[in-house]
Chains A and B, each alone.
Chain A
Amino acid sequence: MFSYKEIKKTALISLWFVFLTFPIMVIKVDPIERIVRWRWDNAIYVGVGIFFTRFLIEYLKDRNNKRQAAKRSANKESQPIIHSIIANPKQRNIVIVVLLSTAFIFPFIFSTYQTNIMITALMYVVLGLGLNIVVGMAGLLDLGFVAFYAVGAYSYALLNYHFGLGFWAVLPIGGCLAGLAGLILGFPVLRLRGDYLAIVTLGFGEIIRLVLENWNDFSMGPSGISNIDRPGFFGIELSLNGSIMYLYYIMIVLMIITIFIVNRLQDSRLGRAWIALREDEIACQAMGIDKRKTKLVAFSLGAFWAGIVGVIFAAKTTFINPASFTFLESAIILSIVVLGGMGSIIGVIMGAFILILLPEYLRAFSEYRMLVFGGILVAMMVFRPQGLISNIRRTYTFNKDQ
């Protein structure tokens, strides 16, 4: 690996980086003194740094490949610890019980602030699971997912503002309206594939946000809607802390329901059709699967969950405006799915916790937060493109000798 060719290539890459970072690393304009300072030493740091970083990356990649090759030749499947836990019912039950009880006592141990962060993380888990149906299973690259989140949030905000409808009444309505929006949007755009679909959904996401921003009569524009009711608890007024705790438990229950449903969907005739559609559209149609209908169902089911979480978001913050529904939001949810592992439920859950909790706790280094965030994603793409948890191969048990 330290061949002449490799060293030359690495040197060229370093030079290229020095060139790319030249304007920000080397040149510094001092507007007060009206001079330009040339920090040549920075160029040297970048060059040397990149030189060694590349060797490090190559070394890690090499080691990774070798390990995998060794595994393959030993004829063993690489089975991450999580897969083996899932395969063993006893271990699995223990893990589930531990997780559930931790989740249950969490708000009693930690502060309201922590609980609030946890609610956000749980919301992203459900959003991720919803998008996972669309992107992970059905393979439809949707960059406008946040639009359906917005539909849910505004459904609750507006119905609450105009008609005084409560949280529990709007929760299913918001979900269904978002699902309907998914159906309506999906109808024209699902003819497109891959990159084209991504661009069009991105556009639709932005259109919805711009409409909300500019249609003052309908959505009150950029100033948003405030004083949205928190979830009602059998008519009892809850204190602020109490209602945060209440919302936390609502989120836990919603997450469990979502996991249950998504898991069942994945393991059904419909789920198989989605995965097949992701693998090969033409073969899928030739096997009698209605491409249009199957895609629409995936799109609209994913949107349904975004809508549900949207309603919860509005109830949590009691104030919404279009600024909460930018493309960045879609990008984060998509990163959760990609980081976790496309189509893998446990992966998406882990991805959501990592991507939402990590930046929260990295607030101390808030200036570098996005940098770390980006670094993690790039590292993932290089070292583990299948995501944290690759999908489990399903086997079926049945009577084989008949």
Chain B
Amino acid sequence: MTTPILKVTGLTMDFGGIRALNRLDLDVCAGEIVALIGPNGAGKTTFFNCVTGIYQPTGGDMILTPPGGHKSINLKGLKPNTVTEKGLARTFQNIRLFSKMTVLENVMIGRHCRTHAFIFGAIFRTKATRKEEKEIIEMSYSLLKEVGLAHLADEFAENLAYGAQRRLEIARALATEPLLLLLDEPAAGMNPQETLQLKELIKKIASAGQAILLIEHDMKLVMSLSDRIFVMDYGKKIAEGVPAEIRANPEVIKAYLGEDIDA
């Protein structure tokens, strides 16, 4: 087996007296779709926040290994922007777009950490800057096409429908060229048709070899997309395995307390 892109060991996060994450282990390999599920308040979003540097975990390690024999990096203690530069990009459970910027500009922001123009380049608009700017625009636009929002490129982000906003967040995250894409409940609040579109989109992205770690409540979506599933409850991992194993796991059924996970 190859070394996983992201290997998290013993991740612990305390908020005062609350232990939101309790010695959590998790790993994602290249090209995989891995799902992280669990009841509300289980600590899934907290996990994302720790991995992406927004929270500083109390303990544990998060090792990122870029494929192709690169050196591993411990993400612990890095600032969020550095984590993104190293190759993790995420979406947010409660959408966080730049609402007064256009759809295209939102995606262009995602290119920030892969481009370099600064004060000098901005003022004198050197040849290198113009070229870079053109590449930013073109790549952002092609990402918008990929998520099906190209026709709305010049609209303000706040004017988009809910489902479109979620897809825009995905495009923005992809613009950072992540090694691993983290999606926090991308289907939340979507209608069945939008969910179906989303499923196709995630499949398409994954088929290009993109590794994805997915938090999701929609069991149908999780079961049909994921290669492996991690289940957590009260900050602890309670199960891990392929979808068929998870569906049959009595602990999982108990945690979901009769919720219909075959749905």
A interface residues (Cβ-Cβ under 8 A, vs B): 261, 264-265, 267-273, 275-276, 279-280, 282-291, 297, 301, 393-396, 398-400, 402
* Cross-chain contact B112 with A287 (CB below 8 angstroms): yes
| Complex CA distance for A283 and B109, rounded to whole angstroms | 10
What are 11 A-B pairs with beta-carbon distances under 8 A?
Answer: A265-B122, A269-B115, A269-B117, A269-B132, A272-B108, A273-B109, A286-B84, A286-B90, A287-B110, A395-B154, A398-B141
B81 sits at the interface (CB 8 A): yes
* Cross-chain contact B92 with A283 (CB below 8 angstroms): yes
* Cross-chain contact B54 with A282 (CB below 8 angstroms): yes
Chain A's closest residue to B134 (CB) is A398
Interface size on B, residues (CB 8 A): 49
Chain B 227-261 per-residue mask, 1 if CB under 8 angstroms from chain A, else 0 = 00000000000000000000000000000000000
* Cross-chain contact B98 with A269 (CB below 8 angstroms): no
Which residues of chain A are within 8 angstroms of B194 by Cβ–Cβ distance?
none
Which residues of chain B are within 8 angstroms of A394 by Cβ–Cβ distance?
102, 105
Q: How far is the CB of B160 from chain A (nearest CB, A)?
A: 14
| A-B CB pair tally, cutoff 8 Å | 117
Which residues of chain B are within 8 angstroms of A289 by Cβ–Cβ distance?
81, 109, 112-113
Which residues of chain A are within 8 angstroms of B133 by Cβ–Cβ distance?
268-269
Given contact pairs A285-B79, A287-B109, A291-B81, a sample of 15 additional A-B residue pairs in the complex whose CB atoms are under 8 Å apart: A268-B121, A270-B122, A272-B112, A279-B98, A285-B53, A286-B54, A286-B80, A286-B89, A287-B112, A287-B172, A288-B84, A288-B113, A289-B113, A394-B102, A402-B138
Name the one of A264, A276, A290, A291 contacting B125, with C-beta atoms under 8 angstroms: A264
| Complex CA distance for A396 and B103, rounded to whole angstroms | 11
B218 sits at the interface (CB 8 A): no
Q: How far is the CB of A134 from chain B (nearest CB, A)?
A: 15
Which residues of chain A are within 8 angstroms of B101 by Cβ–Cβ distance?
272, 275-276, 279
B52 sits at the interface (CB 8 A): yes
* Cross-chain contact A284 with B109 (CB below 8 angstroms): yes
B21 sits at the interface (CB 8 A): no
Q: How far is the CB of A113 from chain B (nearest CB, A)?
A: 36
Which residues of chain B are within 8 angstroms of A285 by Cβ–Cβ distance?
53-54, 79-81, 84
| Complex CA distance for A287 and B154, rounded to whole angstroms | 20
